[in-house]
Structure 1
Amino acid sequence: MKNKKHTFLNEVTDQIKSKEAKKFVANELSYHLKETKNDLIEKGLTEEEAEEKAVKQMGSPIKLGQQMNKLYRPKVDWLLVILFVMTLVLGFLPMYSLGYLHERHFSIYKIMIALISSSAALGIMLVDYRKWKKRGWLFYTIGMFILLLLRYFSNSTINGLPRFRIPPITIESQMALPFFFLAWSTFFSNEKLKVWKFVMLFMIPLFFFLALPSVSNAYIYSVMVFVMLWWSKFSRKTVLFIWAFSFSCLLLLGIISWNTLKDYQLVRFLAFLHPEKYSDGRGYIILHVKELLSKAGWFGNHLDKEFIPEAHTNFVFVSFTYYYGWLFAIALVLILSLFIARIIVVTHQIKDPYGKLLLMGAVALYAVQLATNIGMSLGLFPLIAMSLPFISYGLMPSLLNAILIGVVLSVYRRKDITGNHGIG
């Protein structure tokens, strides 16, 4: 009778193209056959009769398999894909307005960035995200290895930040972020995680980010972890306590360190609050950026060539607004914000708690970059090294966000083959 059951399952799964869906459907059908069989045994049938009748009640294996193939075939979130491609294309506009695309080096490198980012997103989409759940410690170790390598063995710097370079590979601190993102998705999905372990695991990378120093990545890392904390296995009461305690410690640290700030650190902070008083120093860039944005108008300045600091990296939003106008700048912000809205919508379609954690972590990582870069450009946030997702020039910022898109696509692709009785 088992052979008949196995024959039935094989005939069903033969109609299914996806290997992942085959295993899921086989597990689901086995579960339902078992439940039906037990119900029939309770009604007085023998074990053999009950199993045979349970198989017959399933109907034609070929028709069932075709239905399952249609229902559980891998999905592609085409809206997210279109947004992704659209933003990669938009990333060429600032390079064009600044004249960089006329230089062979910049144009080839920008094309390579787009191709590598696209390949990374596609490759990650094809990987079953559920396999990452058991590899949290591996991802955490890789992230720590990157930070330790940069802390003690860096052989070059860019903008004062250490790098480890073995041509053509360059390792920088931002490379650790996707590994910590995957690690915390695993840790927070574990009911055995204790508060003291959370504190220890969080503080060690934070210390090394600050020691490099890489304040911007320490900031991104902290926001990501504390947002993901809300969807962890901790109780809401515990999460709120951790948030309140952390905020209190941060506030106390700020008060204590205020009197120990070095002169240049104090000037940097005061220049952000009152740039007019420091117009000949730290406040100059802030005032210059405000002036550029005020000159942008609705349709920009296509012919004028003004000096814009870090025009293709940290202040790419400023250069985009200045050359293309506020109308296009607002449209750009809306397009970039659609990523957040779309991922949140997808989150409500995901049944797997681990998948939800991945999506919320992706939202946090992406949103903190978007909000901080625009806020910095508008004078609402202190000046730090922060890229605008997919628009700023640079391989690692684009690759980081492409990885996030790939993770979201991977979760979405398998949203119909996660359940209580299937794999995952």
Structure 2
Amino acid sequence: MNTIRNEEDVKQFLKQVCSHIRAKEVHQAVKLELEGHLQDIIEEKLERGFALHTAIKEAINQMGAPELIGAEFHKVHRPRTDWKLLGLLTFFILFGLVAVFNAQVSLVQRLGSSSIGLQQVIYICVGGLLMVGIRLFDYQKIARYSWIIYFSTLGLLVYSITTGSGINGVNNYLQLGRFVVNVISISPYLFILSLAGIWSARPTPQLNESQMKLILRSLWLNFGVLLIPCVFFLKAHSLTDFILFFLGSASVLLTLKRKRNILISHVSLIFGSVIFFLLTSRHQTHSIYRWISFLKPQEDIQGFNYILTQSKKAISSASWWGHGYGTPLTTLPELHSNMMFAFLIYCFGWIAGILIFVMVIFFIIHSLQIGLKIRDTYGKSLLKGLFTLFVIQFLWSMLMSVGWAPLSAFSLPFISFNGQVVIFQFAAIGLILSVYRRKDLIGL
């Protein structure tokens, strides 16, 4: 094959073919494939007595028109756009703008002023631009920086917990000039990004590496990287982000088809860390009582179950078409964020709740479908891990509003007002689109 590669006719033929393939990433693979076919034809003709130059020309003619070959390769290996996901995202964004401005009207009547609508528009614009840029980026290049992302996220968590600002003594917020970032809420996305790269890489044993070193390295890769974030999430009193991290990392492990004992250890490790902090932290014990109180909805309706009780009352009073745009709801706190689903139903009726639920089901089904189309191990684990974070937030927020899940800080992605977190959610969607875009450019 090295003989024909340097032939001018072959070079021109391959160049013409590749000129019709937009994705430059596949050019080298296409050239190697075509060179193989040409080599087979040329060797056959040489055996029949053709001169080398004549055999090359005959082989190129037999292959066909280069523009047609290039067009076929482009059709198969062109970058893809997940239009269904973009359609679902557009629905959530538009519905979210209506929802946030609706909540703003209600809050203005209650508080006298509110600017969450304008803030949401700004965050969507910034996040949308970031999503478009990340979509065009080669996500595989991020894998090599997985450990850097992991330790950088840990560093941000430590800095936020020790020096950040917060509410009720919980330092989740990091001040960056005029901007305030909730480091705890964005860290599950960063950890999933790093773990997908760490776990999808297959470390090769070093020469003369002892069995004990192999065991210690396996323990660190499978359990150590999980335990440390768990400790910090619980130290920050953020059970919601702890759950996101737990389920997201489990999704990555299941995607990579790790051994059963690793999965069992994963669950045991995380639940063990929860029990430890419940026993050693008075604040966490109080939180867990609040979380399990939903199992007895008729008890303590003025205490732990107050918000869930008011949410169910608001939903039941809405009927099919609700009470109207911007109707005040003074009995329900956090109506613009955590309780947005209940507030939307209260204003726009059960039909609005059914519509959101149906679109979320479409989102879940679509995430499962595209997960089957990705061949790259790193891309598949990253995609499923990020999708898991979105699905948990959607489902928990809706189930919580009707009293079927514990009260938590989960909110509807892109619909509720989540502050700067929505920018990172757009970035996560950009990564998912990047994985989908390159699904036919990998593994040639």
Matches within 5 A, 1:109-188: 109-154=119-164, 156-158=165-167, 160-172=170-182, 173-188=184-199
**Equivalent residue in structure 1 for 2:225, among 201, 209, 224:** 201
Relative to the length of structure 1, the TM-score reads: 0.86
**For each residue in 1:37-60, what CA deviation from the matched residue of structure 2 results, as whole angstroms up to 9, or x when unmatched?**
257548864995676655444322
Verify the 8 A CA contact 1:175 1:396 in the aligned structure 2.
Answer: no
Contact 2:308 2:400 in 1 (8 A): no
Instruction: Confirm or deny: 8 A CA contact 1:142 1:179 kept in the other structure.
Output: no
Question: 1:332 & 1:395 partners in 2: Cα distance?
Answer: 21
Aligned to 1:400: 424
Letter in 2 for 1:289: S
**What's the CA shift string for 1:378-408, capped at 9, x where partnerless?**
2222222112111110233322332232122
Distance 2:291 2:76 in 1: 56
Aligned partner of 1:293 in structure 2 is: 315
The number of equivalent residue pairs is: 412
1:163 positional shift: 1.3
Q: Is the 8 A contact 2:38 2:60 kept in 1?
A: no
Alignment partner, residue 95 of structure 2: 90
Aligned equivalents of 1:38, 1:47: Cα separation in 2? 15
Task: String of CA shifts for 1:59-79, please: whole Å, max 9, x gaps.
Answer: 222332233334433222222
Q: Root-mean-square deviation (CA), in Å?
A: 2.9
Equivalent positions of 1:7-406 (< 5 A) are 7-16=12-21, 18=22, 21-34=23-36, 36-37=38-39, 41=43, 45=47, 48=52, 54-100=59-105, 105-154=115-164, 156-158=165-167, 160-172=170-182, 173-192=184-203, 194-232=218-256, 234=258, 238=259, 240-248=260-268, 262=282, 264-265=286-287, 267-269=289-291, 271-302=293-324, 304-307=327-330, 308-406=332-430
Contact 1:297 1:325 in 2 (8 A): yes
**Cα distance change of structure 1 residues 170 and 56 upon mapping to structure 2, 3 Å threshold:** farther
TM-score (norm 2): 0.83
> Partners of 1:66 and 1:246 in 2: how far apart?
48
1:27, CA displacement in angstroms? 1.8
- For 1:302, what is the secondary structure of its paired residue? coil
Q: CA deviation at 1:257?
A: 7.5
Contact 2:189 2:386 in 1 (8 A): no
Is 1:143–1:177's contact at 8 Å kept on the other side of the alignment?
no
Distance in 2 (CA, whole Å) between partners of 1:104 and 1:257 is 38
Judged with a 3 Å threshold, the aligned counterparts in structure 2 of structure 1 residues 112 and 269 are, in CA distance, closer, same or farther, namely closer
* % identical equivalent positions: 26
Residues 102-157 of structure 1, C-alpha deviations (whole Å, 9 max, x = no match): 75722321211221221122111111122222222222123222212212331x21
Query: Aligned-pair distance for 1:226?
Result: 0.6
Is the Cα–Cα contact under 8 Å of residues 189 and 233 in structure 1 kept in the other structure?
no
- Pick closer, same or farther for the CA change 1:158–1:127 going to 2, 3 Å: farther
C-alpha separation between the residues in 2 aligned to 1:302 and 1:363? 33
**What's the CA shift for 1:340?**
2.0
Gaps spanning 5+ residues in structure 2: where? Answer: 204-216
Contact kept? 1:140, 1:179, Cα under 8 Å: yes
Deviation of the 1:223 alpha carbon = 0.6
| CA deviations over 1:162-211 (Å, ceiling 9, x no partner) | 21102333232222222212211112222338354210111112211221
- Distance of aligned partners of 1:256 and 1:99 in 2 relative to their CA distance in 1, 3 Å threshold: closer
AA aligned opposite 1:37? Q
Q: Distance in 1 between matches of 2:279 and 2:226?
A: 27
Q: CA distance change for structure 1 residues 348 and 51 in 2, over 3 Å: closer, same or farther? A: farther
Q: How far apart are 1:266 and its partner, in Å?
A: 6.4
Whole-angstrom CA distance in 1 between matches of 2:235 and 2:194: 21
Residues 3 and 143 of structure 1, relative CA distance in 2, 3 Å threshold: farther
Change (3 A) 1:243 1:22: closer
Secondary structure in 1 matching 2:202: coil
Mean Cα displacement is larger for which, 378-387 or 243-252? 243-252
Cα–Cα, structure 1 residues 353 and 92, in superposed 2: closer, same or farther, change >3 Å?
Answer: same
1:23 alignment partner AA: E
Once residues 283 and 64 of structure 1 are traced to their aligned partners in structure 2, the CA distance between those partners, rounded to angstroms, is 66
Give the Cα separation in 1 of the matches to 2:389 and 2:115.
Answer: 30
Partner of 2:210: none
AA at the equivalent of 2:313: E
Contact 2:195/2:249, CA 8 A, preserved across alignment: yes
Does the 8 Å contact 1:295/1:322 carry over to 2? yes
Summarize the Cα distance change of 1:301–1:32 in structure 2 as closer, same or farther, 3 Å threshold. Answer: same
User: What is the alpha-carbon distance in structure 2 between the residues aligned to residue 250 and residue 133 of structure 1?
Assistant: 25
